[in-house]
């Protein structure tokens, strides 16, 4: 292990996360925005409220929707990444679907109500783990956005929502106490969501793979989980290699340690 650390200039322990920094409201126009840095990977997530629900929703829908888009900006990689002007392709499409379904797994769409939210995840600099960083950052932006929607009366408990006739008659949103707002936020987002990468490199399990670790990994895995201990998705691949049940257990245990730290970081960032 010591030889490996010397060879690849690894300056942190195998079970140690890269340094994480969170800047809220990095941009002013979005409902909520988060600049998220994990090591040298940097992601900007902006959450916006759409004017209406998707067209395929019924007209009298009582639940909402959460969508996500993901992109690597041209200067985010060593060589210029060409913009996907005709829509997301291949890897990009797979990642944004992963982000969206992960977020929806952590949201009670009925409690959210007939609201459509979109989270744009733009990678400013890529140094491994971009999809995991995007998911963790998107959860922070989503919770901040929901908190603001509740405060301004755009996201209410079912019993307080207006009828169609009330809206036509100039309905005014009710004022929720701080306690009521916190209760409804907990109903919409019962648990936080985070993601982290782990891998096997030279026979050792490592947490939070940067590009150097990822490019040398025999096994690469992304673990997405909610703060109540439930897995949303586990993506594990042997890179021209295989892994045992024992190694899988070690990988998940290593990921759990990192996710615990990320959940604490999210709570602190929004407190």
What is the domain-level CATH number for residue 186?
Answer: 3.30.230.70
Work out the pLDDT band at 224, boundaries 50, 70, 90: very high
Q: What is the pLDDT of residue 1?
A: 29
End-to-end CA distance of the chain: 38
Q: Are 146 and 188 in contact (CB under 8 A)?
A: yes
| % of the chain beyond a pLDDT of 90 | 76
Q: What does the pLDDT look like over 98-146, one tens digit per residue? A: 999 999 999 999 999 999 999 999 999 999 999 999 999 999 999 999 9
The angle at the Cα of 271, spanning 23 to 234, to the nearest 5 degrees, equals 70
Q: What is the pLDDT of residue 124?
A: 95
The model's pTM is 0.91
Mean pLDDT across the chain, nearest whole number? 90
- The packing angle between helices 90-106 and 130-151, to 10°, is 40
d(CA 107, CA 118) in angstroms, rounded, equals 13
Q: What does the pLDDT look like over 159-173, one tens digit per residue? A: 888 887 887 888 888
In the predicted structure, residue 60 carries a pLDDT above the cut 80: yes
Q: What is the DSSP string of 139-206?
A: HHHHHHHHHHHHHTTSS--GGGPPPHHHHHTT--PPPPPHHHHHHHHHHH-SS-EEEEEEEEETTEEE
- Per DSSP (E only), the strands in the chain are 20-24, 32-38, 41-49, 65-72, 116-125, 193-201, 204-207, 219-226, 231-238
In the predicted structure, residue 79 carries a pLDDT above the cut 90: no
Q: Once rounded to an integer, what is the mean pLDDT over residues 15-26?
A: 96
Q: What is the pLDDT of residue 17?
A: 96
Domain that holds residue 234: 2-270
Please, which residues bridge with residue 37 across strands?
Answer: 21, 42
DSSP 8-class letter at 34: E
Highest-confidence segment of 51-60, 171-180, 191-200:
191-200
**Nearest-CA neighbor of 117 among 151, 167, 62, 69?**
69
In the predicted structure, residue 241 carries a pLDDT above the cut 80: yes
| % of the chain beyond a pLDDT of 70 | 94
Domain count, the chain: 1
**Nearest-CA neighbor of 69 among 89, 54, 53, 42?**
89
**SS3 state of residue 105:** helix
> Would you state the structure tokens that stand for residue 95, as one six-digit string?
């990642």
């Amino acid at each position: 292990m010591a030889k490996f650390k010397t060879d690849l200039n690894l300056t942190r322990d195998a079970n140690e996360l890269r340094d994480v920094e969170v800047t809220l409201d990095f941009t002013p126009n979005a409902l909520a925005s988060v600049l998220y840095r994990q090591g040298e990977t940097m992601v900007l997530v902006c959450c916006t409220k759409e004017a209406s629900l998707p067209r395929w929703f019924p007209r009298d829908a009582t639940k909402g929707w959460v969508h996500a888009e993901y992109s690597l900006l041209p200067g985010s990689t060593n060589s210029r990444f060409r913009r996907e002007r005709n829509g997301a392709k291949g890897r990009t499409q797979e990642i944004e679907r992963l982000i969206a379904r992960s977020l929806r797994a952590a949201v009670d769409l009925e409690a959210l109500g007939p609201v459509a939210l979109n989270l744009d995840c733009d990678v400013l600099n890529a140094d491994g783990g971009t999809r995991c960083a995007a998911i963790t950052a998107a959860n922070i932006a989503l919770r901040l956005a929901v908190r603001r929607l509740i405060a301004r009366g755009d996201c209410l408990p079912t019993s307080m929502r207006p009828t169609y006739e009330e809206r036509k008659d100039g309905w005014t949103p009710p004022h929720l106490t701080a306690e009521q707002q916190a209760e409804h936020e907990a109903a919409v987002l019962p648990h936080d969501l985070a993601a982290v990468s782990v891998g096997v490199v030279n026979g050792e399990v490592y947490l939070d793979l940067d590009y150097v670790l990822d490019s040398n990994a025999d096994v690469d895995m992304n673990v997405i989980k909610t703060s109540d201990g439930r897995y949303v998705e586990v993506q594990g691949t042997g890179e021209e290699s295989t892994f045992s049940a024992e190694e899988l257990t070690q990988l998940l245990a290593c990921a759990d340690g990192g996710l615990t730290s990320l959940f604490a970081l999210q709570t602190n960032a929004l407190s």
